[in-house]
Amino acid sequence: MAVLDNKKLKKLLKSKSRVKIENNPDIFYKEFLKSTLFVPVIAINEDDDLSDGDTLDLQIGFFDEDNGDRNIYLFTDTNEIERAAYQIKSIAVEMKELSIILSQFDVEFNYIIINPYSVDSYKIDFNEFIQKVNQ
């Protein structure tokens, strides 16, 4: 699995930095939009006989919550993925590229949740994310 360096983003997500980014969300978005994060994926037509160089069709995984929200989970590093109580397959995706990928879905999303299993998880409105990418 790829090693990602999102130290600045993780520092912003710490609870002591929350007031700072809530008062000035551009600080958060500046770092977030230049980040590469792990995104859960689901293999379509998974084949156990794959060899090096073979391709696999993947779909971004999203999570339907009990309250009816449909969310995208993102992870800053492998340690954050390991906090989940189940195995998550993921790929590393640049955040600006993620907006293009998600715009192809015929599904409406509510939130993007960064590090959802952490005490420092952070939720952003999906439409706000798309708006910030397109500025």
Answer yes or no: is 1 within a domain. no
Give yes or no for a contact between 59 and 44, defined as CB atoms under 8 angstroms apart: yes
**Prediction pTM value:** 0.86
Phi/psi-derived region of residue 115, left when phi > 0, alpha when psi is between -120 and 50, beta in every other case: left
> Which of 12, 59, 1 lies closest to 34, judged by CA?
12
Which tokens in the block code for residue 127? 């439409």
Q: How far apart are CA 38 and CA 26, in angstroms?
A: 22
Query: Which residues constitute the domain of residue 89?
Result: 7-44+57-133
What is the pLDDT tens value at each position of the chain, 135 positions in all?
577 889 999 988 887 778 888 888 888 999 999 999 999 988 776 555 656 655 556 778 889 999 999 999 999 999 999 999 888 889 899 998 998 888 888 889 999 999 999 999 999 999 999 999 888
Answer yes or no: is 67 within a domain. yes
Q: What is the predicted pLDDT for the residue at 94? A: 94
Q: What is the predicted pLDDT for the residue at 93? A: 93
CATH number for the domain harbouring residue 92: 3.40.1350.90
